[in-house]
């Protein structure tokens, strides 16, 4: 009887460790892959902001490897022919900072993930950024991974 109790305790302990580890691995793998992030309404102040200040506040929605939506604040810096946009996005699963570097001479816009919290902590990503004609919608497409 005592051996059965010990065996049962060992099995319960093994499951208590195995299940959370398995769930953590599956939640991390869900954030690997292609992603599309749509950011709207963050260009309230237009081209007037060049010193890293707030360019506007709006919303974001992400689909693909990241599925979230929420508020977004854009910060804008201009140095010569380079524009840097920082989109700080706060969703239900955490916050993500997307850094967009725009070369105005070549017309190339690339993004990376600068930082993340909660479910997005340790997440990396990169891709291209495109905007509509009046710069009110930014679309980031690319890949994310851990």
Q: Each residue of 25-52: pLDDT tens digit? A: 444 446 799 999 999 999 988 789 999 9
For tokens 């902001």, the residue is: 49
Residue-wise pLDDT tens digits, 59-105: 999 999 999 999 999 999 999 999 999 999 999 999 999 999 999 99
Residue 115: name the closest of 88, 138, 142 by CA: 88
Residue 56: name the closest of 116, 115, 125, 137 by CA: 137
Cβ neighbours of 137 (radius 10 Å): 16
The answer to whether the CB of 91 falls within 8 A of the CB of 69 is yes
Q: What pLDDT was estimated at residue 23?
A: 41
pTM exceeding 0.85: no
User: Hey, where are the domains in the chain?
Assistant: 1-30, 32-145
Q: What pLDDT was estimated at residue 1?
A: 56
- What separation in angstroms does the CA of 22 have from each of 14, 27, 97? 12, 9, 28
CATH of 32-145, one of 2.40.350, 2.60.40, 3.40.1620, 2.60.120: 2.40.350
For the chain, the maximum distance between any two Cα atoms, rounded to a whole number of angstroms, is 79
């Amino acid at each position: 009887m005592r051996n059965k109790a010990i065996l049962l305790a060992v099995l319960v302990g093994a499951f208590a460790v195995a299940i959370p580890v398995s769930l953590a691995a599956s939640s991390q793998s869900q954030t690997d892959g292609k992603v599309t992030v749509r950011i709207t309404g963050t260009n309230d102040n237009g081209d007037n902001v060049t010193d890293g200040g707030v360019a506007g506040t709006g919303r974001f929605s992400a689909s693909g490897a990241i599925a979230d939506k929420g508020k977004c604040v854009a910060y804008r810096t201009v140095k010569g022919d380079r524009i840097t946009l920082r989109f700080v996005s706060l969703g239900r699963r955490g916050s993500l900072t997307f850094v967009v570097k725009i070369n105005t001479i070549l017309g190339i816009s690339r993004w990376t993930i600068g930082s993340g919290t909660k479910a997005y902590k340790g997440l990396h990503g990169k891709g291209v950024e495109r905007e509509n004609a009046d710069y009110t919608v930014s679309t980031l497409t690319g890949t994310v991974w851990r």
